[in-house]
Amino acid sequence: MLGVLDLISVGRELTPNTRLRRKKRCHAIQCRYPNTGKNTFGMARTVKSEEFFRSKVDGFKDRYLIEYPEEHPTGPLVFYMHSGLVRAEQGFRDGHEWDIRRLRNEVMERNGVYVCPDYRGNSWLNAPAETDMLDLLNDLKQKFSISRVIVTGASMGGTAALVFTAHHADLVDGVIALCPATDMSALYYDMSTRKDWMLKHLAKALIKSYGGTPDEVPDEYIYHSAIHNVSRFTMPIAIRHGDADAILPIEKTREFVEVLRAVGARVHYDEVFGGDHYSPTVMTPWKEYLDFVLS
């Protein structure tokens, strides 16, 4: 639902059901009450666009969605990393699952820049996707003259947020991970032995993304496992996981949090009682989490 906001493009109005076309566009998000200069939530007018770029790694064409204030943004640069089997649009979605649009609203309240990269689809942030993400971050920091960066995501995106942050700690001020995987070898073996088609598909995606199984390329799985890179988390971390998650079981997240606390990391950890894999994305306390990681 768009609520009180209308997406306005040149010559036509976008409805909530309008699909993004595969070309660069830019929309002003305009209030129904333009005489105020702001919408009813007090947020300034913003610009939303779909951008494409060619990877410096191999020329791969990828995209990202971005929204920012029409006036110069003064808040943080916030990346939302999408989950598996979907794309960047998830970052603007609301509903009973993946209620991520509320994060976008919170970033706009802070006069920040909100970015949802595709990062090569179901990539699990493999090496090319990580390089693309690094280049995108540096380009946007320069474009908007923003110093503070927050990386967040859910499921595969929460995993990617942790991995990227661990290996680029000098560029990230805080990370928020919802229902993440923290041990990629354990995840692969768990997914590959289950009967669920989606989990088997994701296990195959891991092989494709990392170049083999944990037995074949163990260093890749270690590199992409937050639990093997604990010492790199020098920034505040917020984590939220459902204790009945049957897709990415909570046990490894609990283990990760225990190790983080043991080394003195700043951690805000929440469990959703009886929560499944999707529960952490519903009514997520984004304001509380952003306040914590930006403190």
Q: At what angle do helices 127-144 and 156-167 cross, to 10 degrees?
A: 70
Could you give the 3-state DSSP secondary structure of residue 182?
coil
Sign of the torsion formed by the C-alpha atoms of 155, 5, 26 and 22:
positive
pLDDT (0 to 100) of residue 96: 59
Confidence band of 37 (pLDDT split at 50, 70, 90)? very low
Query: At CB < 8 A and 24+ separation, what contacts does 260-263 make?
Result: 260/230, 260/233, 263/230, 263/231
9 part of a folded domain: no
Query: Which tokens belong to 264?
Result: 């003195």
The amino acid at 27: H
215 part of a folded domain: no
Confidence band of 147 (pLDDT split at 50, 70, 90)? confident
DSSP structural state of residue 225: -
Which CATH number fits the domain that encloses residue 249?
3.40.50.1820
179 part of a folded domain: yes
Q: List, for residues 41-79, the tens digit of each pLDDT value.
A: 555 799 999 999 999 999 999 999 999 999 889 999 999
Helices then strands (H, E): number in the chain? 8, 11
Q: CA 255 to CA 24: how far, in whole Å? A: 43
Neighbours of 5 (CB within 10 A): 19
Query: Which tokens belong to 61?
Result: 């064409």
Nearest by Cα to 113 from 87, 146, 158, 161 = 146
214 part of a folded domain: no
275 part of a folded domain: yes
How many domains are there within the chain?
1
Q: Are 241 and 271 in contact (CB under 8 A)?
A: yes
Inter-CA distances, 242 with 23, 51, 93, Å: 37, 34, 20
Nearest by Cα to 207 from 87, 277, 126, 129 = 126
Confidence band of 250 (pLDDT split at 50, 70, 90)? very high
Q: CA 277 to CA 279: how far, in whole Å? A: 6
Q: At what angle do helices 101-109 and 286-294 cross, to 10 degrees?
A: 50
Q: List, for residues 210-235, the tens digit of each pLDDT value.
A: 999 999 999 999 999 999 999 999 99
Q: List, for residues 173-196, the tens digit of each pLDDT value.
A: 999 999 999 999 999 999 999 989
Q: What are the beta bridge partners of residue 237?
A: 175, 267
1 part of a folded domain: no
The amino acid at 15: T
179 is in which domain, residue-wise?
A: 50-183+225-294
Q: CA 124 to CA 164: how far, in whole Å? A: 11
Neighbours of 42 (CB within 10 A): 9
pTM: 0.86
